Structure 1
C-alpha cells in the first residue's frame, strides 16, 4: 500500500475508534513500528490528532469554530488566487450561490463588473456588494453566526427550492476521502447540504492546508463536487480520486 493511501486509511481507523495504540495499528496495517510512528507523527502534525500514552487519539480541538478574522488572515495570498480563479467561471446572467468563508469572499473583486444574481449567507459579501448595482443579492436570512460572519438556517429550507442555482461556490473547514467536505458550524451545515443538492455545478474553494483535515460536520461527499479549486497540486490520492469521480481539478496561479 502506498504511503498516502495508508495514511488516509490510518486516519479513518483512528477516527472510527477515537483512540488506538501503536501496536494495534501495526497489526492492522502490517507495517513496522517505525513506519507507524512516522505515519502517526504526520497525522499529529496536521493538528487533527494527538499523541497519548502508547498510541494516538482524535484531537477534539479540531471541532472548535474559529473566528472569521482568525481565518481571514491565514494564507491570504492563496485565498485571493483561488477567488480570482473561481471568478473566471462566473458569467453574465448566472444565478450563483456564494458560501460563507474567507476564500469565497475574495470573489467579489473579480465579479463586481458582471451582471449576476448572487444568493449568499455571507454577511461580508453582502456588505461589500452594496456599491455594485449590477449584482443582485438575495439572502436566505436565518440566525447570525458571529464567529463566521454568516447566516445559518434552521427553518424554511424549502424556500431554496424556488431558486434555480446554476453554480455554487462552496467553502470548507477541511476535506478528506473518509469524511468528505466538512464544516465546523452546525447552523450552516443544513444550508450547505441543500445548496449542493440544488445546484447544477458545485465548485469547492480550498487552500492546500484544508486537505486531510475535517470539521465537526460533513455537509456533502467529496464526489458531489464538480470543480475543486486550490492553490497547489494535491497528493496523488486526491488526483486519482478526482479523475475517477470526474472532478475537474483547478490550480490557481
Structure 2
C-alpha cells in the first residue's frame, strides 16, 4: 500500500507542478508524518525537490520538446535505429514506440512487408510512401510535445494485441531506477506495449545512461535487447546479470 501511495503522490506532484504538504495530506487522507516519510522516499528519485511548505517538480525533470530532442545525437540515433531494423523479419508484427530514435527505423524497414502498431506520429508520416508497411495507429489524443497519441484508449487498444517485437525508446536509464521516460502521459502506453510483446528491444544513445526521466516504465529484467553506441563499464556485468543481450552500433 505504501508503494502504491508514494507512486500516486509522485504522479500528483508531477501533474500539479507545485503542491503544499497540507494539500497532499488532504488529497491522500494521511497524516503529516506519513506524507513527510513518503516525500523523503520520492526525493531519492530526483524527480521532485522540496520548497518552503511543500514540494515541486525538479528543474532537471523538464520535458524537452520533440523538436529539440530530434536534433540531439542525430547520427547516433540513425545508426541505432538501422541496427534495430535488422531484427525485423518479413511479415513480422511489431510495435514502434514514440521517440526520436525509433522514428529512424523507417529507413531500415521501408523494403519489408510488415505490420506496425504505433503511437508515433512522425513514424506514421514517414511510412506513408511505403504501402508494404501496414500501419495501425493507436487511438487517443495527439500530444504535440512528444508527437505521439496518448490516452486510455491507446492502452485499452494495446491490451488486446499479441505483438512479436516492441522497439522502445527512453529518456534515461539507470541501474537504480530502471527504464524511465519524461512524459507521464506515455508511461502507461509503454508499460502495456512491453507486457503485450514477446521480445523487447530498447534503443538508446549513450547519453541516456544514468540519466533520469520523470517516470519509470520498465525494469531491466523486462528488456531482451539493448541497442546503443557505447556503455559505461559498470553496466557490462549488470546487463549480463539481467540476461540482456547487448548490441553496439
TM-score range, shorter chain: 0.7 to 0.9
Cα offsets for 1:113-141 (capped at 9, x unmatched)? 00000000000000111110000001112
Match of 1:129 in 2: 127
Residue pairs, 1:171-190, within 5 angstroms:
171-190=169-188
For the residue of structure 2 that corresponds to 1:200, the secondary structure is strand
Cα offsets for 1:141-190 (capped at 9, x unmatched)? 21211111111122463322322200000000000011110111111100
1:239 to 2:230 alignment: no
Indicate the RMSD between aligned Cα atoms, in angstroms.
Answer: 2.4
Cα offsets for 1:4-56 (capped at 9, x unmatched)? xxxxxxxxxxx94738xxxxxxxxxxxxxxxxxxxxxxxxxxxx79xxxxxxx
Structure 2 distance, partners of 1:156, 1:73, is 27
Match of 2:76 in 1: 78
Equivalences, count: 205
Match of 1:87 in 2: 85
Cα offsets for 1:196-245 (capped at 9, x unmatched)? 1110000000000000011110111121100000011x123211111111
Structure 2 distance, partners of 1:163, 1:59, is 35
Match of 2:247 in 1: 250
Residue pairs, 1:27-106, within 5 angstroms:
60-106=58-104
For structure 2, the residue ranges without an aligned partner over 5 or more in a row are 1-39, 48-55
Match of 2:43 in 1: 18
Deviation at 1:59, TM superposition (A): 8.5
Structure 2 distance, partners of 1:178, 1:111, is 34
Conserved in 2, the CA contact under 8 Å of 1:62 and 1:216? Answer: no
TM-score by length of 2: 0.77
For structure 1, the residue ranges without an aligned partner over 5 or more in a row are 1-14, 20-47, 50-57
TM-score by length of 1: 0.76
Structure 1 distance, partners of 2:229, 2:73, is 10
